Structure 1
Amino acid sequence: MRQLAARAWHRLRGSWQWRLLWLAHAKFMVGVTGVVRDDEGRVLLLRHRLWPQERPWGLPTGCAARGEEFTQTVVREVREETGLHVRTGALVRLRSGYRLRVEVAYEAVYVGGSVRIDPMEILEARWFSPDALPDGLQESHRELITPTAPAPASARTGADS
């Protein structure tokens, strides 16, 4: 049966193979986050209008456009949401996320501009010291900012005991 399937696959060739693969596999959105720091080591956090009221604070985040390099997604999203200019650095997270989402995060450095928030998405933009982060910060973003911080007791698994 496998040999028959292999022969049929080879006869399809090119675009038909691609179409079958496309139909058979999951389609993903790519969420891209920037951990933007200034020259004092502070991190840029945004109070998002569309996020849950109990967790409105987070890093600049958005979805990659088709064909866009993820580093450029960080630059674009930060500029759109805050008016600030950044330069991307190291990749700090790449993992599967909620449902059909891939999550990508990069370190980024503030290089210029002044804050001009997009009021449709953002309520406030502020710089925070990593040791004085606001309440209501997304936990996954807290982990990106302070990756060596111990997980809260509620997040630990039995394997740590």
Structure 2
Amino acid sequence: MSESMTPQEAEREAQRIIAEAFEAPVPAYTSFRDNAPPEPTGAEPVAQPDTRVVPTWAVGTAVASIGLGAGSVGIGCAIWLAAQGLAAITLTGVLAALVPFVGVALVVLAVGAALNRAGSSSSSSTHVYNAPVVKHTQVTPQTRGMLSRSRTEVHS
């Protein structure tokens, strides 16, 4: 037994079903809290003192980590401040800031050159060898083995 509907009746029935489905929204729960009091177990509460033992190396590692972290933050802030200051100056300002470093470098170079010249001999005499110089060098190569291990001995 199938009832046949006219297109107008089918349209009205579809609209009624759709409206009925969207009238009552289904709540979407995201959490649940149980307000019922906990059931007693009969056990008395027991004091649990804190008796943890922390190894010395762990304390040292923690202190060193905190120190390194704080130091790196300080260095980072200093670099950031220096970068902010350098971003605000002109080429003339940069050159003016570098003048003391260039001066120190020139003084170091001058002192190094003076020490180099002072260390070298100022006498003009040359060493003259009167005896004949003879050097006998004998090289003995040895190659043996399946993968040709080479061993060279120098005899003087």
TM-score, reference length from structure 2: 0.18
More helix by share: 2
Provide TM-score, normalisation by structure 1: 0.17
Which one has the bigger strand percentage? 1
Higher relative contact order (CA 8 A, sep 6+): 1
